[in-house]
Chain A
Amino acid sequence: MSHEYLFELLVEEIPAWMLPHPGLRDGLAQLCKAELGIDPATSVTIGATPRRIFFRLSGLPAKQPDRQLEVKGPPIRAAFDDKGEPTQALLGFLRKNNATMEHVVRGEQYVTVERTVEGRAIAEILAERIPAIVAGLRWPKMMRWGRGEHAFIRPVHSIVSIFDGKPVAMEMFGVRSSNVTTGHRVLAPQPIEVSSYDDYLSRLRAAGVVALEAERERAMRDRCRELAKQVGGTPREDASIWEQWRYLTEQPGIVLSSFREEFLSIPEEVLITVMRVHQKQLPIIKKDGSLSNSYLSVMDNSADLDGNAAHGNSFVTNARFADAKFFHDTDRKRSLESRVDDLSHLQFQEKLGDYRLKTERIVAIAAAICKATKHDDRDVLHAARLCKTDLMTDMVKEFTELQGQVGGIYARQEGLSEPVWQAIYDHYKPVAADDPLPRGAEGAIVSLADRIDTLVGFFHIGARPTGSKDPFALRRAAQGFVQILLNNANWEIAIGPEQLVDIATDIHGAGNVAKGDLLDFLAERVRTILESEPWSFAYDEIAAAMDARWADSLTDLTARIAALRSIRNEPGFLSILDSAKRIANIVASATPGAVVASRLEHPTELRLHALSTLVSEQIAELAAAKEYRAALESFAGMAPELEKFFVDVMVMVDDPTVRDNRMALLQSVGKAAGAIADVTKVVVDRRELRSR
């Protein structure tokens, strides 16, 4: 019963970051479930090297099970003539369905045929479906080669396709399948015949290829630890290096090399970035936590007998570091302060001026933030003034991803205080959603000032993002802006988005044209962030609380959402929600004014009015003390009285003054918690209401 299928596509080197291709796993899983009748979780094994994509399907049946097929035919009166003999219509139907009279079943109205359809051979299905799955894979950057007839990630060389060792013929990219692959590109480039998955793995191994990535990674990790130990250290932890290395070679090889010790005078951040990002190398950390001048590189050859790889890697790294040292030494000849004026040579944006102007705006905005939040402004303004100066250094011109960090390092070397150098160092943070925030409030303020200056500037000149186009990365700027304003862990910058927009708009001299658009844009980011980890609020809670002046304070917003979340499923609150929605419907088309107490007549409405006045005062007090949960409880406390009102009092009476006054009363009740959230935006699960 148990059969095996093996497939391999041999291609030219696929970029490591594109492996493994998720579409292949999905396509095969779909095929297993829909047509092969096997469980993909236990039957599919997928692997890849830079040159190979392969998979095995195990536990396959030889053919699909036979199926009982019922086909509806002509109506009975059309199927048989007066004498009960089959008509041409019936005979034609039988012919078409490859059936005879013995398959015919007479139903009440129609004739049907029932017959057994033999299941198709699995090999036949594979021959048909595998090419569609593999050739149908979409890659980030497809290419053509040769005559240009086919598109794939890289040119395709050969295909292995065998079912229990026997070929399952197929053709794609102009290549016919066989049972032959080849070994390692330079170590064993001969053709290899394979008969099964195990045979494939072992023959490839003999031909210099460790086919499974997990096995390559294990071997490389072991070797890294071993080599690092030789120089008294351990490999630096680095997930992104391993993601790349496992798909960079067919043979797992690691080489230890070293750079000249004099380069250890270059800041560690620079050395590590150059090794990791530019050279894809793994630094070694010594026992005392310092950086070793030895490091590890991947190679597609397990042995470096003549020391060529060690020589080559040192050569390249030394060359890079010679450049970096030159930049470092040259840069250090001038202070950051002396570069402030140079910033006028660097354009930020045509209509928004150069970086000297941007710096002036950042300083002014940062000063306004300090004033508004009563934060000491000395260190903040010092950092703000210098934060962009590293853009004028050779180091950042060469290694742009080190912007901020380089300025921070140079500031530290110049002996500036910790809050100042850290603020410069951190002011691009957070770069991505999972990136840490600036370490201190000073860095956070400079970051906010820089971001809101950019956002207001671009919105004002009409260069806001549209669809997928965001050439100035404004979404990312806004994302970080929101993340900083949401923070209240070790520091909090107690200012709201709207006030920040106003400050920056004022400093840009921009007028308020784009304010609404920018706030909408920021609101969108707030919603997205609060819906995702670690907040994970529901969209309706967010919408309800945002309705109450979200742009005044984001930390306050999250406190209000949290209160709403904690109370939303409690019976008393569900009841007031229901009433609030009813009120919203009643007053939807009207514009009631203030309640005129003297016109209230019914005892129930008098009681409700008294209660609502009391509750409103209570809510205002609790909200001022940020006791949002208690405020919402107080609001919910009106539910019984309100329900009684709906029973006892008729709102839509003929007398317009009475009617309007009652609507005004209802409105004042419905809006009592309006400063915390627009509760009518909370979606209530009807089943929950009924089950009460």
Chain B
Amino acid sequence: MDQLTFQKLILSLQNFWAEKGCIIECPLDLEVGAGTMHPATFLRVLGPEPWNVGYVQPSRRPADGRYGDNPFRLYKHYQFQVILKPSPLEIQEMYLDSLRAIGLDLTKHDIRFEEDNWESPTLGAWGVGWQVLLDGMEISQFTYFQQAGGIDLAPMSGEITYGLERLTMFLSRKGSVYDIEWGGGFEYGKIRQQEEYEFSKFYFEEADVAMHWKLFDMYEAESKRLLALESPLVLPAYDFTLKCSHMFNTLDARGAISVTERVGVIKRVRDLAVGCANAFLAARRKLGFPLLSEDARTKFFDEESRAAAR
């Protein structure tokens, strides 16, 4: 295969999943720790509406920063996130086809699905699934969502998350993430190393603790206020929930949250996420679940009224 570049991988995955009928979304324009927090995942997996989507999500994990020194660890890495709802029975095969589409001859590799369940205490969400190991290296997370925002899901969503740097690094046999080619002859390090250094320094040493706590409180209050409106503004409220979550991650990386405080702060974020999830579901219902086909909508509301009658 040609030398795989970071952007070629992104383009191949986008094309592959677009052809499988996915909407190609854009990254959320807020700081998030994972593609899962994008409303296109966290909120869309709720309720009866079908949803197939793929998108890149830059994911910030302040505590993972290494000042641009460590060849394997980044404060910000890029994920490619796919949601298939309801999860089709052939989802694993589709995933393997996506690897073939980026040029892998799987018969010459070891590919395994090893148990790795996922749980997000801040989102009140969990699922079961695997880490996908290619020749012993984790290249994707594969999760069947069971609950989000404390709500039991049905239909169920299958989530596939590719670690884009790792995959490129591995397939182009580079020993450091900074040596992979992004595109156009530029190395990833040339483009991102300064950012890794500055943000590591910021999150570990410079971030103003008092200000971040204050922002946390303000974002939380705003999120609550928006949810408490007579007609709640769910999506703005959810934005503020994510901002809170990022404040939490920043304070955590800064070492400003003690072990005991931690549980309490996580609960504050979770309460917001649960509030948003419930409000989102109510709002979609009010709109008549517009993504359902006419038949499916009739069937859904019929079944629901029959269940209510019982």
Q: Which residues from chain A sit less than 8 Å from chain B, CB to CB?
A: 12-13, 15-17, 50, 141, 143-148, 154-155, 157, 185-187, 248-249, 253, 255, 279, 297, 299-301, 304-306, 308-309, 311-313, 315-316, 319, 322-323, 326, 345-347, 349-350
Contact = CB atoms under 8 A, between A and B. Distances in A.
A145 B142 CA distance: 13
B128 A312 contact: no
A312 B137 contact: yes
B72 A347 contact: no
A249 B136 contact: no
Given A144-B144, A147-B86, A255-B110, 6 more contacts: A146-B88, A297-B136, A300-B111, A312-B134, A322-B70, A323-B73
B299 to A, nearest CB: 12
B111 to A, nearest CB: 6
A308 B158 CA distance: 28
Contacts, number: 122
Contacts of A13: 112-115, 130
B114 A248 contact: yes
A134 to B, nearest CB: 18
B111 A186 contact: yes
Contacts of B136: 255, 279, 297, 299, 309, 312-313, 315-316
A299 B110 contact: yes
Nearest 10 A/B pairs, CB to CB? A312-B135, A299-B110, A148-B154, A15-B115, A313-B136, A13-B113, A347-B259, A186-B106, A350-B260, A319-B72
Given A13-B114, A155-B89, A309-B110, A148 B134 contact: no
Contacts of A186: 96, 106-107, 111
A319 B117 CA distance: 23
B109 A308 contact: yes
Contact of A309 (B86, B109, B259): B109
Contact of A301 (B110, B138, B260): B110
B112 A249 contact: yes
Contacts of B146: 143-144
B269 interface: no
B71 interface: yes
Contacts of A255: 110, 136
Contacts of A350: 260
11 contacts: A148-B155, A279-B136, A299-B112, A299-B136, A304-B110, A309-B109, A311-B135, A312-B135, A315-B136, A315-B175, A316-B137
Contacts of B173: 311
Nearest to A351: B260
A346 B258 CA distance: 7
B61 to A, nearest CB: 15
A50 B113 CA distance: 9
A557 to B, nearest CB: 38
Nearest to B96: A186
B137 A145 contact: no
Interface of B: 70-73, 86-89, 92, 96, 106-115, 117, 127-128, 130, 134-138, 144, 146, 153-156, 158, 170, 173, 175, 255, 258-260
Nearest to B143: A143
A144 B173 CA distance: 38
Contacts of A155: 87, 89, 144
A51 to B, nearest CB: 9
B108 A308 contact: yes
B107 A187 contact: yes
Contacts of A323: 70, 72-73
A312 B70 contact: no
A114 B136 CA distance: 68
Q: Which of B110, B113, B137 has the most CB of A within 10 A?
A: B110
A141 B117 contact: yes
Contact of A16 (B115, B137, B155, B175): B115
Contacts of B115: 13, 15-17
A313 B114 contact: no
Contact of B109 (A50, A146, A248, A301): A301
A172 B62 CA distance: 46
Contacts of A305: 108
B104 to A, nearest CB: 9
A143 B173 CA distance: 37
Contact of A145 (B112, B130, B144): B144
B72 A143 contact: no
B242 to A, nearest CB: 27
Given A145-B144, A148-B153, A312-B134, A248 B170 contact: no
A147 B154 contact: yes
B144 A143 contact: yes
Nearest to A184: B107
A203 to B, nearest CB: 19
A309 B135 CA distance: 4
A144 B154 contact: yes
Contacts of A143: 127-128, 144, 146
Contacts of B86: 146-148
A312 B89 contact: no
Contact of B128 (A141, A157, A309, A311): A141
A351 B135 CA distance: 48
A349 B88 contact: no
Nearest to A15: B115
Contacts of B109: 301, 308-309, 312
A601 B302 CA distance: 96
Contacts of B128: 141, 143, 154
A347 B87 contact: no
Nearest to A346: B259
A470 to B, nearest CB: 17
A157 B87 CA distance: 13
A194 B115 CA distance: 29
Nearest to B128: A143
Q: Which of B72, B136, B155, B170 has the most CB of A within 10 A?
A: B136
Contacts of A313: 135-137
B156 A347 contact: no
A306 B108 contact: yes
Nearest to B93: A189
Nearest to A189: B93
